[in-house]
Amino acid sequence: MRIDAQHSRRSFIRAVSVGTLAVGFDLTSRAWAAQAPQHAGPDFRHAPHLDGRLLVAPADLAPYEDDFGHLVHRTPQAALLPGSVRDIAAMIAFCGPLGIPVAPRGQGHQTFGQAQVEGGLIVDLGPLDTISVDPAAQTATVGAGAVWSAVLTASLAHGLTPPVFTDYIELSVGGTLSAGGVGGASHRHGAQVDNVVELEVVTGTGQVRTCSATRDADLFHAALSGLGQVGVITRAVIRLVAAPTSVRSYSLVYPTVAALTAAQRKAVGDGRFDWLEGTILPAAGGGWMYILEGSAFYDTTPPNDSALIGDLGYVGPPQIQDSAYFDFVDDLAPTVAALKASGEWYDPHPWFNGFLPDAATDTLAEATIAATTPADLGASGLILLYPVPTARFTAPLLSVPKGELAFLFAVLRTAAPDDALPAPELLQANRDLYLSVQAKGGTQYPVGAIPMTPADWRTQYGARWQQFRAAKQCFDPHGILAPGQGIFRRA
Ligand SMILES: Cc1cc2nc3c(=O)[nH]c(=O)nc-3n(C[C@H](O)[C@H](O)[C@H](O)COP(=O)(O)OP(=O)(O)OC[C@H]3O[C@@H](n4cnc5c(N)ncnc54)[C@H](O)[C@@H]3O)c2cc1C
């Protein structure tokens, strides 16, 4: 079967999503309810003097009432454009004793209100976007508001690159380090959070602290994949590796989920690819296409095709493409531009993102696909399915299933903007799928739109729940940070 350009991995939006809260979604009646403001009208007139700016005009705050999901809308009272880390510390110290909720915000690309706050303060990390590369140490010191495309550009000037990228690279460093940051190189290098040397964090009491695996380790481990619960990440030191010049990418089609995952298990087992993912797409004539996407990096000599893919048992001719490394990492850019031009980028995105245990992957994925129509996914929707050895994930709060191998599974739907019904129905579908995944020992990757109960969150973190709760109480004693995640409720 030939995969045309329109159906190749790189022409579709894919993303990962991490779960979220039940606020506003009544799980019993399966209906949306208006969310009561968490804080009625804090008075920012007595806010501290700032190096940056505090926005309070409704027109200035409007962008912060939305996110990539376009499902949840909350009105903040103010937004901080920090001129310094000191500004963030001062505003958090001001908000804490008054109980004013504070939402750190990068690019606002989580999909269920996670980076929003009702009646509180948004901390827009955008202005903190400096990047400095140390070629000798092979690290980049990066402001949390910088986007990964800028980190890549700065690193490549020294022949270096971060080892792991998400599929879309216009996300903020602070935003993906708060989630995890999973991509096609994760089978080799773990998530982005596994490649952080040091963080600077402003805690929920306004303290500025530098932490690492050996210094203030409790804070370090609670901030990485910590969904903004213990502090605002303001700076990160990121590990870099040598960047290749070029990439050869293979798209291989399989007839079933089981055939796809069998080939992926083989490839991940022997580590033949530098980058490995998989996509499931509606096929032109009906049914589905199951596509393994593997890539090999090279500088001068391209890889031997038959050695790389000859034993992978695909059907039809493989699609093979060579790209410059930057273009490979940034290959969603043309699709995003097209979706913005068509307006689909701005439609609701009730995304499901999870990790499946290896043993249950085929049955869960098959059942989900059997219950899904192309219309459910929307015109630009797709499903991602790819394996990651769990030993690569070392950050305690990036929850993955037990067992040696897990599969990232993402059902990336776009809902019609002009129909009131689909989004709630699709959110319920996300919840039903989450419960099936949870019953098999799977977890959600909390960037998407899955209504969660308090019991779900405890299950999500399992043995790590008490540790996470203790860190929240220690570093955010007023319980003001990132309430949009809905993990910890204030009394
Ligand atoms: C098109 C698209 C593709 C994607 N592809 C992938 C992918 O391949 N792999 C993957 O892992 N993810 C992917 N994602 C998900 C993405 O990684 C997360 O949604 C990420 O958190 C978004 O970053 P952001 O800057 O928009 O964060 P925001 O949405 O602004 O914030 C996310 C959460 O983190 C908190 N936060 C933000 N900045 C900070 C900070 N500096 N300190 C503390 N807390 C903070 C916020 O309060 C919020 O709770 C994709 C998302 C999209 C929209």
- Residues 6 or more apart whose CB falls under 8 angstroms from that of 389 comprise 187, 268, 404, 405
Q: Please name which of 182, 121, 128 lies closest in space to residue 150, comparing C-alpha atoms.
A: 128
User: Quick check: is 470 in a domain?
Assistant: no
Residues 219 and 103 in one domain: no
CATH of the domain at 94: 3.30.43.10
In terms of domains, do 227 and 309 share one? Answer: yes
Q: Quick one: which of 479, 480, 371, 473 has its CA closest to 428?
A: 371
- What's the CA gap between 160 and 432, in Å, rounded? 43
* Same domain membership, residue 187 and residue 48: no
Distance from C-alpha of 196 to C-alpha of 237, rounded to nearest angstrom: 6
Per-residue pLDDT for 16 more than 50?
A: no
Six-digit token string for 319: 């699609």
Tell me how far the alpha carbon of residue 485 lies from the centroid of ligand 1, in angstroms.
12
Whether 358 and 433 share a structural domain = yes
Nearest-CA neighbor of 157 among 175, 181, 131, 177?
Answer: 131
Decide: 190 in ligand 1 pocket, CB within 6 A: no
What is the DSSP secondary-structure string of 361-395?
HHHHHHHHHHT--HHHH-TT-EEEEEEEEGGG---
| Spacing, Cα 287 to ligand 1 middle (Å) | 32
Assigned domain for 287 exists: yes
State residue 420's pLDDT score: 57
Q: Which domain holds residue 42?
A: 38-126+478-485
Same domain (yes/no): 275, 137: yes
Residue 118 sits in the same domain as residue 249: no
Which of 388, 5, 352 has its CA nearest to residue 184?
388
Q: Is there a domain that residue 236 lies in?
A: yes
For the stretch 382-429, pLDDT in tens is 999 999 999 999 999 999 999 999 999 999 999 887 665 567 888 999
Q: Is the pLDDT of residue 9 over 50?
A: no
| Residue 144 CA, closest ligand 1 atom number | 41
CA–CA distances in Å: residue 468 to residues 195, 227, 293, 392: 21, 11, 35, 21
Residues 12 and 44 in one domain: no
User: Closest Cα to atom 12, ligand 1: which residue?
Assistant: 16
> What is the atom index within ligand 1 of the atom nearest the CA of 234?
41
| Whether residue 178 is found in the same domain as residue 33 | yes
- Ligand 1 near 448 CB (within 6 A): no
Domain membership of residue 466 (yes or no) is no
85 and 30, same domain (yes or no): no
Contacts for 315 with CB less than 8 Å, ≥ 6 apart: 1, 253, 254, 255
pLDDT tens for residues 182-225?
A: 999 999 999 999 999 999 999 999 999 999 999 999 999 999 99
Residue 472 lies in a domain: no
Same domain, 397 and 438: yes
pLDDT-derived band at 285, boundaries 50, 70, 90: confident
Whether residue 62 lies inside any domain: the answer is yes
Residues 377 and 348 in one domain: yes
Percent of the chain residues past pLDDT 70, beyond the cut: 91
Cα 20 to ligand 1 centroid, rounded to whole Å: 12
Our mutation pick for probing the ligand 1 site, out of 149, 170, 171, counting the most ligand atoms within 8 A of Cβ, is 171
209 in a structural domain? yes
Q: Cβ–Cβ contacts within 10 Å for residue 239, how many?
A: 18
The pLDDT value recorded for residue 399 is: 98
30 in the same domain as 42: no
**Average pLDDT over every residue of 294-320:** 97
Q: Average pLDDT of the chain?
A: 91
Nearest CA to ligand 1 atom 19: 110
